[in-house]
Every structure is written in C-alpha cells, then in structure tokens.
Structure 1
C-alpha cells in the first residue's frame, strides 16, 4: 500500500526552522542580557569599592591637612619663641658689652701700650693710645685679630711719632696711634662672661 502525504511538508519544515531560529535567537539574547547584567554588577561593585577607597583617602588627606596646619602653627610658635629668646639674649649681651669690651681690651693690650681714649658707636669701637714702639702697636693689632672672641677686623687709622717730656726733663720718643675695631658676639658668651667677673680691677690695672 502506498501512502501519499498530502500536507505541505516544505512549508511545515520552513516553519519549524524559523521557530528554531527565533528560539535560538531568544536564548542568545537572554544569555547576552545575563552576561551584560553580570558585567554591569561587577562594574558597579568595583566602582563602589573604588569610591569607598577614594572617600577613605579623602578623609585621611583632610586629617593630614589638619595635622600639617597644626605642625605649621607649632613651627611658627617655635620660631617666635626662638626669636624672643634670641632678643632676650641679645639684650642681655648688649647690656654687658661695655664690661666685656673693657675686659677684652685689657687682655689684648700688650706691655708698652697705654690706652688714652675709647669711643663706641654701635658695633664700631675707636681706640686711641700711646705705644713705646711700632712693634707694640702691631702686636696689639694681631692680638685683637686672632685672640679675641669679642673683637674683630682691627684697622689702624693713624700712627705718628711724638716726643713726650718725662718728669726728669728728658724727652722720650713715643708713638700716638688710633685704631678701629668691630664688636662681635661670640657663639658661646659664657667663657667671656666668666672672664668678665673682675673687669673693673683689670681696667684699673690698665
């Protein structure tokens, strides 16, 4: 017996293929949406994590900014205290400078040199005196240049010979001189201060 299919089989097969295609397309679209959703979720999580880190870093930076401001304020206060301390030390030193000056001149003046006048203008001291020889004046200049913590930059202004009449009536040849010195503050004033405890007696000896 021969069976004859009178249905339009080609049309049915075309419909099945079209249905399978759309089914596959729907499944692919659904899988694509799932992948996109997962990726979006991961990105959101990463973004949220990074945002939390950024917020934490910003908070720490603000704390550090406050600490830096506090440190800057402390540094300014420390510098102000140092400036006050230096001003007080300078005032203390300036008050005792005449004592140190006289004591230093006594220590650095060699034998055969007699000081007749001392004049101070700010940090410049002008000294006048009489010396037995030129070598004594040179020694005085060297002493104030190399050996004194309070005197520096000695400069001979003038030196000239002078005849001085002694008590016996004889004339003696001496040298009148004038020199300039500059006062300085040594790094440690304590040795100079300890040496200035008896300046009046030393000045009387001079």
Structure 2
C-alpha cells in the first residue's frame, strides 16, 4: 500500500488537525507543502486536488480526500483509531464540540475572509487583530462553558483524546498567534496541558512542521 500524502501548510489549523489524527492513528505519511503565502493553493496543481483551493488534502487508498473533519472520520472508519465515542449521544456531544470550532470559529477567522473584510472596510492591522480576538475569544468562551459537563475528563470527553481535542488544540495555537486572553479558561487550559504531553499532538505542532 502506498504511503499517504498530506498536502499541507504548517500554519493551517485544519492541516494541524489532520496531522494530529494521522499521528494518533500511527499512520506514516509524506508531507507536501502547499505554500499559502505564495498562492500555491490557487494554482492548477492544487485545484486539481481540491477545487476549493484549501488545505489539507489527503491522498490515501487511491482517493483524494478534502475537508479536515471528513478526513479524520474516514481514518476513524477505515483505520480503527478511536476518536469518537461508541455511544450515539456521546458522539453527538463530541461532534458538537468539534463543530463549534471547525464550523463556527474557524470560517470567520479564515485569512481569506478577514482579508476581504479589510478590503471592504479599509481596516488596518488593528481592525484585523480586533476581529480575530473577538471571534476566537467568544467562540472559546462558549467552548469552555460546553466543557462544564459530567463527561468532560482529562480531555474534552473522558480520559482519552478525541475529535474535539483535535479541533481545540490547533485553535489554541491560533488564539496565541492573535493574542487572545486564555487566562479565564481553566478547563481548556487543563486539556491543553494534557494534550501537550502526548507525542501525537506535540509532533503535529506547526513549529515541527514548518518545512
């Protein structure tokens, strides 16, 4: 079986999610950089992989997969990695946590979206920073409240990492980048500390994947 190929950009939080999942699943892969700053994601080669012009894209099992959460669930279904609970209600909770980041915080803080806002408003760096801090901060505040639940353990759900943690940790990297105050998020901070101890998370960090 051919080694999977991950078309990736080191600072992309969506790519960061997939790197964590691949690591937790014990899947070796070949990284191929798609340089967003150079516009490689808009080139013909990458658009043939993903017509949306986004990263990541994962070439695996003769398929070209896109969308980070869809990729991760494919790994769950085909590689036996346990990133979602067995119980339907618990799966719904974990997906709600994951989606609150991947579908609510992330899209409005995508650099293309924010660049367009800046273009429409004539805003500068201060406006960009205020935008990022507002939407990341309020999204994580809601996430912190969602963690006030009996099923929260050392990780977002129980005592093993899963899909919600895989979405949370890259978003915290982005929060740090934009100077979001995380000091009031005690549950999030504890989960981050637990994830930091795991090689699957540590080895996926952008600082280790800036090729």
TM over 0.5: no
**Please, what TM-score do these two structures have when normalized by structure 1?**
0.20
Higher relative contact order by CA 8 Å / sep ≥ 6: 1 or 2?
A: 2
User: Which protein is bigger by CA-based radius of gyration?
Assistant: 1
Higher helix proportion: 1
Higher strand proportion: 1
